[in-house]
Amino acid sequence: MAHQSYGGRSHSGSRPRDTTAGRAEDLLAENRRLTAHLAELKEQAARNDSLLRKTQERELELLRAATLHALFEKLIHGLRRSYQLDLVTLTLDDPQYELRHLLWDDAAIFEKLPQVQFTDSTASLLPYLARLDQPWLGSFNPTEHDFFCAGLSRVGSLALIPLRRNEQMDGVLTFASYDPGRFNAELASDFLAHLGAVAALCIENAANRARLLRSGLTDFLTGFHNRRYLNARLREELARAQRFRQPIACLMIDVDNFKPINDKNGHLGGDAVLREVARRIAAEMRVSDIGARFGGDEFAIVLPQGDLQDGERVAQRVLESVRGTPVQIDAERFEHVTLSIGVAVAEPKHDTRDHKLLAEHLMAEADAALYRSKAGGRNRVAISRNIVS
């Protein structure tokens, strides 16, 4: 009995000790779990803080970019380095080709930054982009995402960041990584959404600055002066010609059969022809001469102190310069381009007061000569013998 009693006490006494030890172990395990979770939260907070600072620094750099080229450099290379990405691309809606026109002065950008792509509509590439208000993060799907990751052979995951401005989709900024787990739907995308909004604003601001530089008095496609500038300068030069009793010549120039060239090569091909024609015209002008894109495929040159012989000589040089060498559209396409040119001269009388009307008469006379050139078979120079006065 004593043995049983002793055994009973021993058995009943061991239970509390086992229960207490188990609870202690559970508490220690919970404590370790909470400590690990806290460390994970601290690490995440540190990462978020670092990402926030990095994002703010990048956004300030984007806001400081003065040109479209500089902005695209910062978006493509700056963000890739900053976020340690394998690829960043920028796809922009440009249905009217305006952004591409603004960049043609710096045509090297298309070679240096192939990651910048233009399209008539990003929504046409992926229909859900039209409704995309927040960044989309997930696994790379070649069928859907290949356009956004051109040049990267093995993409694991990516983030499609919509560039929205005034409820309008302007394009997509794409972050791509080899790591399949780098971007997934569980990740917070607030920073990326804010970055997309800032990028869209910066692109619009840079484009507006580029437009301002070319607006008013400059043709944005060719870099020539525009018709408004020509009209103002021609009146000034006629007044000067009157004061010093000097002639002034005017050339009206038209690209022959431009519509078939444009239809055959597309708008960008047609634009390439107009830019090259403008460049060749400019190469034959004196510093004092005034060149302008008069409209469409028509150009004009004003030669201060230029008589009929001067006008004909410059016209022939321009004609030979353009028709002498085919215009290169791209690596494989060339176009043989010719011009029709009309030349007229004014010698303002000493009592002339209406220089605006005189300018209109001079351009009309040169334009009439131009049409005689076209009627005569194109690819030639026609001269007006009627001296405008």
Can you spell out the DSSP letters for 225-258? B-HHHHHHHHHHHHHHHHHHT--EEEEEEEETTH
| Angle at CA of residue 318, ends 315 and 323, nearest 5° | 125
Q: State the CATH class of domain 227-383.
A: alpha beta
pLDDT of residue 218: 83
pTM: 0.55
Which H or E element spans position 16? helix 2-64
pLDDT digits (tens, 9 = 90+) for 321-331: 999 999 999 88
pLDDT band at 1 (very low <50, low <70, confident <90, very high): very low
What is the location of CATH 3.30.450.40 in the chain?
A: 46-214
How crowded is residue 210: how many other Cβ atoms within 10 Å of its Cβ? 20
The pLDDT of residue 13 is above 80:
no
CATH 3.90.220.20: does it fit domain 46-214? no
DSSP string of 289-328, one letter each residue: -EEEEEETTEEEEEEET--HHHHHHHHHHHHHHHHHSPEE
**Is 338 within 8 Å of 373 (Cβ atoms)?**
no
Tell me the C-alpha distance between 365 and 383, whole Å: 9
- Residue 339: name the closest of 321, 360, 313 by CA: 321
| Angle at CA of residue 260, ends 254 and 263, nearest 5° | 120
- Residue 322: name the closest of 297, 305, 286 by CA: 297
The residue type found at 333 is R
**Going by C-beta distance under 8 Å and a sequence separation of 6 or more, which residues neighbour residue 63?**
198, 202
What is the location of CATH 3.30.70.270 in the chain?
A: 227-383
Q: Which of 79-83, 130-134, 230-234, 334-338 has the highest mean pLDDT?
A: 334-338
What single-letter DSSP state applies at residue 378?
A: S
- Higher pLDDT: 251 or 23? It is 251
Mean pLDDT for the chain overall? 86
* Token pair of 46 as six digits: 């540190």
